[in-house]
Structure 1
Amino acid sequence: MTPTRKKRLILVLMVALGVSVAVAIFLTAFRDNIMFFKSPTEVAAQDYPENRNFRLGGMVKDGSMSRIPNSLKVQFVVTDFAEEVKVEFEGILPDLFREGQGVVTIGKMRNDDLFVAEEVLAKHDENYMPPEVADALEAAKKQQSNYGNYKQEESE
């Protein structure tokens, strides 16, 4: 091999090594910043990342909201009509936050089956629902109707 070819080969290998290192760093940073969306059914099945923030979405259950006196803490229940998750949030809720409305919360699960939210996002008008929430609610309704059909066949 001539010295010129050796230099080119070394240069190509160095560039390939540099690109590989850059891709590895990018993928590591990307994996650490991914935020998963989970429905209450998935959370009830223990299918969520532990000790990491994730998004929990669904509908705020009617009659479930309670404020802790002398603080900004609020507790409410998020449901997908199949399962429910109790959520605690300390802070000012969005103006559009109400019972019976769609919501996406960002936070972590505690060991006692309580989701501690760092951020609460309410839907911004009566026609919009985040796609993840709509999909999760639709899947829960299908699962519930299939369960109802199974129970009906079983009783016959």
Structure 2
Amino acid sequence: MKCGEIQAVVQLAVAINLGIYAIKDLSVPYLLHQRAQLNDLRALLNEKLDDLTKMDHSSVGEERNEKLECIDRHISSIYRKSTHTWDLLESYNLGTVSAASICFFMSIYCLFHTAYFYNEQAPNWLIYATYISYFSVIVPMVINIWSRYRGWKLIREQSMIRNDISKL
């Protein structure tokens, strides 16, 4: 295989590695929306607690108070999970940017090499470097799918809590 034949593949790798910087930020607004919903749930719970303190403390009020405390613990648990997911996403995004940068510069070097030695036989290292330069594409896609799944699970738990609060 000649260098000129794999030049288009290397050009695609350069373009995709530049696009990684946009892909890595797709999951951030989703998690921010999820965090805003958590804050809304906390405010709704505080309103219910204020309403409960205005009521007399009969057995029904104590039962509702126990339910609200259980819901409060559940919201705190979801908030901790959300924070953990956010921290993991931040570290993964840092790794993604590092990998994309390395692959980008490697792709640029391969692009210059293929342009300079256009009609010569491509060395094996160039072919392997071209394959490796696509590695940074797979990782952000997996991270984005994972963060969407985690956010979807947390939002589902939040809607169950919202239903529990509305029943009180």
TM-score (norm 2): 0.28
TM-score (norm 1): 0.29
Whose Rg is larger? Answer: 2
Going by fraction, where is helix more abundant, 1 or 2? Answer: 2
Q: Report 1 or 2 for greater relative contact order, CA contacts < 8 Å, sequence distance ≥ 6.
A: 2
